[in-house]
Structure formats: C-alpha cells, structure tokens
Amino acid sequence: MTFHAKVELSLWLQRTRDDLKMYHKEKSIQIKSSASALYNNLSVLRIAPRNLTYFSVVHANMVNMVSASWDGLNYSHRQLQSKEPNVTTSSSLIMQAAWCVLPYREILVLTSQKGIQMYESDGSIMVYWHALDTPETPTAQAVFARGIAAVRDKYICVGISSGSVLVFDVPSKGSNITLSEVLEEHKESITDMASECSGSLECIADLVSADDSGNLSVWKSGEDFQLLNKIPGFDMSCSSVKLWKGTVVAGYGTGQIRLYEAITGIIHAEINAHARWIYSLDIAPFSGLLLSAAEDSLVRVWHLTVTPETNSVEIVHMYNECVTDTQICGAKFCDGDGYAFAVTGYDLSEIIRYTQA
Amino acid sequence: MSSRTLPLLFINLGGEMLYILDQRLRAQNIPADKAKKVMNDIITTMFNKKFLEELFKPQELYSKKALRTVFDRLAHASIMRLNQASMDKLYDLMTMAFKYQVLLCPRPKDILLVSFNHMDAIKDFVKETPSILSQVDETYKQLIEMYTPLSSGEFQLIRQTLLIFFQDMHIRVSIFLKDKVQNSNGRFVLPTSGPVPHGTQIPGLIRMFSCSGEEVKKLQFRNGGNYTSALREGSFEMFGERVIKLGTNMYSVSRPVETHLSGTSKNSAQQKSVNTTPNPLAKEELNMLARLMGGLEVQKTSSVDNGFRVNLFATDEEEEEALISRPDEFSYDVINIQATKLSGGCTEQARY
C-alpha cells in the first residue's frame, strides 16, 4: 500500500461508524486484585501449542497471573509474591513483571525493591534470585529494579534504580543462571528496556535501555556488551521503549512518541501522541502495528513502516480507543500481527481485551 | 518505592483535615475563640519541629493503620473531641480528597503545587499568630529544598507510591458526586478535555524528518478529546499563584460533608485494607511510629468545661448509626501507643 493510500485509509477509519471500527471490545478477564500505577504493567505470553495466553499484572507486592484458553472457556489464576529475604525487613513492592522469551525457554521475571526473581514461565518454580544492595536505613534515592528484556539467545537484562543494567546469562534449562556483566552507562534510574523484536539477524543493535532523564543507550550483545550509541533525552523521563527493525520507538512523560534510528540517533519522527504521561508501548513485529497507552485514558494504534534500504521510516495513525475514566498502565498486543490487544488500568481489576473486527 | 513520599502525604492529608474541621466548626456554631484555638493547636502540632524532622527523613510510607493513628493523635491535639464514627468519616474524606488530587494532577510535579495550595491555606488560618506562622514558613522552606530539585521521573515515582497507598479506595463523597467529579461506583471522572499539562503539546500532530533533520511531512490525526493549550506554570516558591486549583478548599458552610459506605459495587471485596494478614513488620513500624509520636505533644484538657465535641454528621443519632453500620472492610484498626517516659531514648509501650 502506498503511503498516501495508508493515510487515506487511516482518515477513513477514523470517520467510520461504530460497527466498522478497527477493533471491538471483547469479554474482559477478571483478575484477583487491581493493577498498580506502574509503567508497562502488563505482560502477555502466547503459548500457541497449548492454545493458551498468559497475562501478568502487578498489584503492589504481588503479581496476578492468568492463563486464558483461546476458546474463552478456561481461566486459571495464580498469584506470586515478592520475595522477602527476611521477615523483619519491610515488604517489597514489585516494579514490573515480564516474560522473557528465549529460544529454549520462557522465564517470568519479577523486579522489586529488594531484587530480581526469575520463575519458570507458569510461575510454578522460582529458578533464580538476585538481591539488590539495599542500605540498612532508607536513603533519599530509592532502590529498586525495573526494566526487563530478553536479548538474543541467552541473555536477560534488568535495569536498576542507580542506572546500572544487569546482564544475566541463562542456560537452555535449569537454574544455573549467572550474572555475566553490569553495564554502567546511565546516571538516572532505568525505566524500561527493549530488545530488537523483528527477528531479523541483520540488525546490529540488540538492546535499547531508557532512563528517567530520557537518555537512551543502544547496545550490541555478546560476551561483553558493546555500547553502540547514546541518544540524549530532553530531561523528560522515557517511560516505555521498543526496538524494531533498527528503529527505537520511545514514549515520554510529556505524551510524545519519538522514533529514532538506533545506530545513529537520527530522529525519524516526532508525534504529539498523548495528553498525559505515556505508560506503555508495544509493537506487533509481523505487521508493524504500534500500540501506545497513557494516563489520559487513550490507547492509540499506529502503523509503522521501516524500509532499511531507503532508510525511511513512516508512521500513520490508525485507531483510538478511550478507556473511560481509567489511567492506563499497561497495553500489549496478544499476538505478533496485532490482531488483538489487552489493556490494564490503575485501580481496575480486569484485563480489557480488544480484537480486530 | 520513593522514600520521599511521607511529608507530602502528611501535609496534604493534614490540609484536607483542616478544611473539613474548619467547615464543621463553623457549621456547628462553635464560638470563634474556641474554633480558633482548635485550629491553632492542630496546626502547631502538625508543624512541630521535632515531628517534621522525623517526617522528612527518607523512609517508606507507613501503612494505612499507622498513618490513621498519627491523624487520630493530631485531631485530638486540642480541646476538640471526635467520636469514632466522626473520626472515621473525617479520615475517609481526607483520603478520598487527596486521592482525587493525586490522580487528577496534570503532571506528577504538580503534586507540589497541590501541597503549596494546602500550605497557603494553612498559612491563612494562622496569619494572626506569628509564632505558628514562622513554623509554617520553615516548612515551606523544607518542602522547597527537598522537592524542587527532583526530576519529573522522581515525582512520578512519588505519585506512583501515593497511588499504591490509595489503591482500591472508592468511598463515595457527596460533594464529589454532586460536582460530577466522581461516578456512583466511586471512581473518579477523568476528562479527555481541558488544558494539557505544562510541557505537553495538544495531541494530533505527526512530524517526519529526513536524515539531515529537515521536516519532510506533517500529518494530523484526530485525538479523540477536546484539549486546549497548557496554562502557564504555577509558582514553586513560597509565594505566588499556583494556577492549579486542586488542593484549594472546596468546602463551605453550605456544602456539607457526606460519605456513602453502603451500596458499594460488588467489588467491595477488593476494597479491603491492604494489611489484613498478620504483620511481621509491625514491630519496625511501631518503632518508627513511636519516634514520630514522640514529637507530637498531646494537649491535656485543662478543664472539662473547655472541651467540646465535633460531629461530622448532621445529628448525634446519625453518628451513632454510622458507627454501628460501618462495614467491616472499612474499619480502620488504630494502634494505641502510650509514650510513657521520654528521657534520653523514648520508652514506648505499644498495644493494638
């Protein structure tokens, strides 16, 4: 489809009647407790061989996990608590929970004020625990882990409030997970991290990390991770980031989305996307659909086209969904094409789902 | 999460409490001198130097139970008495009001402006009493020193910490329902219209650039709302127009304070207090609380004649009825702390 045709289509879709909307609301999934106001507070894992999708949503010191069968008939719930190494210390709030997909296994990672927990994908067994250096008495600077990404074949990267990024080496099975490297580049708390999700092996950049001042670091993975580029922020927190076909998509507290070429830092596009702080971005890697969600109650769907040969990047707005009276904290596509997406909101005890008409 | 949340929580809740008490004192026609004494006593206690020193130390937020205990003590810092039901209602109103303000803040940093709105009003309450006024001024300086250097991301962390504290609270407040800022299910209305926050652009524009940085394409999209440009930024100094209206006094004698606890949605099961499980961290929390309370001097009622009771309800019967019918899931367990002897270290006996 030519660019102009896409623009026409998007304008038309915006004017259409209700029954011709791009997405329709499906039955929500109830969760055991409400979602907390945390960045990227929804993770989705599609398990095609078993016709199941897992969802996870953080509530304070707990993670609500739901396993939903595709026929919509079976739901099973599990709640995971943050690990409290000893009873006298105060309870540990969880900052984020996300599934990391590696070639031979999927790991559920929980990041909290006390450390990093890793579980088998169904949450049944904890396979690894890494404790953060928490001071005896609280300091002005908060201590926590936040920002989770699976990189290439064997790495899980997790961000820390100090700005460090921990790189864990994960074997294809078992619990012999080791801390392989600590990347010290950021000076502000890590907010989010993303790995290249197009599946293309040609992309040089493997990982992008974002921090509270909006600074982005672009990395190449390996025995020693290599810093490829730094993209400066504008003193505004980047709360959510994605990397697709060598393009960084970054969402900011100002409600802006920016698209950069990862290796060079060249800005491709700037979108005045939301009226409030962006909390979540997601990309459907097969179709190039982009999902953005913010405190302003809006979820927006965009279409991204990246043509590496001509070094051109185009973005078109496709669809809006208003989740009335809700500050959205998580929004993810449920499949690689973007056929369906799910949304969580602060104080809401349900996962709202939408599918294409 | 953020270890800098407690001062903001305390000052804003305290401010709301003063608005409500001020309204009730006038509605009940309490003599002006007594009313003034109550307000002055509470404000003096709130801004006690030792107390604030403890408060401003980096620390995790207290549990709801612990914080309620602090406010119980504060509300009784003078000759005024409140029955349990009135105290419960007062606390409901305070917390829902501040929850509303935190949620509706355009930017996380604006929570500081909301705090200044409360501070400005408190300053106005005590403007004729120089000694208390200087305490309040001192607190302004501490707030400015601690919070103005923080980044937007750090303010968002504070806001997220506050939102966890207020999670699942959906008590319906008459004045909010009437003003249509709260729905009948207890959830706040989040408008998709009005001015965008300072520093944000009105959504609707996509700009695309060439490799050399030139703008090559401009596209508009429908933003689904009705937004206008940002207002000017409020003042973060001791004086100045705050611009944001959140945190200013919404009560007046003609707008009574009511809450509804009955007929809450079927999600009332989720509206439990966070601490229902046996609390192993209670001991540490009690110690923190005891240190904090050490700075809160409670006024002894010099004569029974001087004291009086304030009712948050329209009649005594209503107050009694409210106490009996308050659903279990809304009960605030209060910790009883008796500061026995303060010599060198504090010796406290805690019972709850």
Rg (CA), chain B: 22
- B267 Rama class: left (phi>0) / alpha (psi -120 to 50) / beta: alpha
pLDDT-derived band at B62 (thresholds 50, 70, 90) equals confident
Tell whether the model's pLDDT for residue B27 goes beyond 90. no
Tell whether the model's pLDDT for residue B290 goes beyond 50. yes
Please check whether residue A206 is in contact with residue A151, taking contact to mean a CB–CB distance below 8 angstroms.
yes
Tell whether the model's pLDDT for residue B276 goes beyond 80. no
Q: Estimate to the nearest angstrom the gap between the alpha carbon of A198 and the chain centroid.
A: 15
Give the length of chain A.
Answer: 357
Residue among A10, A95, A212 minimizing CB distance to B151: A212
Q: How far apart are CA B345 and CA B342, in angstroms?
A: 6
Q: Between B100 and A5, whose confidence is greater?
A: B100
3-state SS assignment for residue B290: helix
Mean pLDDT over B295-321 rounds to 67
Amino acid at B223: N
Q: How far apart are CA B281 and CA A270, in angstroms?
A: 48
User: Tell me, what's the pLDDT at B283?
Assistant: 60
User: Tell me, what's the pLDDT at A190?
Assistant: 97
User: Tell me, what's the pLDDT at B347?
Assistant: 32
The size of the A-B interface in CB pairs under 8 A is: 177
Chain B hits for A89, Cβ within 8 Å: 281
Q: Between B275 and A29, whose confidence is greater?
A: A29
Chain B hits for A272, Cβ within 8 Å: 200-206
Q: Between A119 and A18, whose confidence is greater?
A: A119
Residue among B154, B157, B204 minimizing CB distance to A272: B204
Residue by residue, DSSP assigns B156-171 as HHHHHHHHHHTTT---
pTM of the model: 0.90
Q: Please write the tens of the pLDDT for every residue from A180-230.
A: 999 999 999 999 999 999 988 888 999 999 999 999 999 999 999 999 999
Instruction: From residue B74, give the alpha-carbon distance in Å to each of A347, B8, B17, B265, B310.
Output: 30, 16, 10, 32, 14
| ipTM for the assembly | 0.93
Classify each residue of B109-134 as buried b or exposed e, where b means 16 or more C-beta atoms within 10 Å of its C-beta. bbbbbbbbbbbbbbbebbeebeebbe
User: Tell me, what's the pLDDT at A145?
Assistant: 96
Q: State both tokens at B132.
A: 């208390």
- Which of A86-95, A130-139, B205-214, B334-343 is modeled with the greatest confidence? B205-214
User: Tell me, what's the pLDDT at A205?
Assistant: 95
First to last CA, chain A: 20
Chain A hits for B156, Cβ within 8 Å: 237, 239, 253, 277
User: Tell me, what's the pLDDT at A357?
Assistant: 76
> Which residues, at least 6 apart from A275, have a Cβ–Cβ distance to it below 8 Å?
A255, A294, A296, A298, B192, B196, B197, B200, B202, B203, B223, B225, B227
- Which residue in the block uniquely carries the two structure tokens 């900052």? A95
User: Tell me, what's the pLDDT at B343?
Assistant: 29
User: Tell me, what's the pLDDT at B279?
Assistant: 44
Identify the closest residue of chain A to B278 by CA–CA distance.
Answer: A87
User: Tell me, what's the pLDDT at B199?
Assistant: 95
Mean pLDDT over B286-313 rounds to 62
Q: Test B187 with A347 for CB contact under 8 angstroms.
A: yes
Tell whether the model's pLDDT for residue A14 goes beyond 70. no
pLDDT-derived band at B258 (thresholds 50, 70, 90) equals low
Q: Between A16 and B219, whose confidence is greater?
A: B219
As a whole-number percent, the residues of chain B with pLDDT over 70 amount to 77
Q: Test A36 with B224 for CB contact under 8 angstroms.
A: no
Tell whether the model's pLDDT for residue A275 goes beyond 60. yes
pLDDT-derived band at A86 (thresholds 50, 70, 90) equals low
User: Tell me, what's the pLDDT at B323?
Assistant: 80
Tell whether the model's pLDDT for residue B294 goes beyond 70. no
Residue among B2, B103, B284 minimizing CB distance to A142: B2
As a whole-number percent, the residues of chain A with pLDDT over 90 amount to 82
Q: Test A325 with B190 for CB contact under 8 angstroms.
A: yes
Span of B129-133, B187-191, B267-271 with lowest mean pLDDT: B267-271
H-assigned helices in chain B: 6-27, 32-46, 49-55, 64-75, 84-104, 110-125, 130-147, 152-165, 174-178, 282-294, 316-325
Q: Please write the tens of the pLDDT for every residue from A234-269.
A: 899 999 999 999 999 999 999 999 999 999 999 999
Q: Test B164 with A316 for CB contact under 8 angstroms.
A: no
Q: What kind and span of H or E run contains A8?
A: helix A3-15
Instruction: Give which of A254, A312, A322 to mutate to test B binding, by max B Cβ within 10 Å.
Output: A254
User: Tell me, what's the pLDDT at B327?
Assistant: 75
Mean pLDDT over B176-205 rounds to 95
Mean pLDDT over B211-235 rounds to 93
Closest CA to A111 of A58, A154, A73, A64: A58
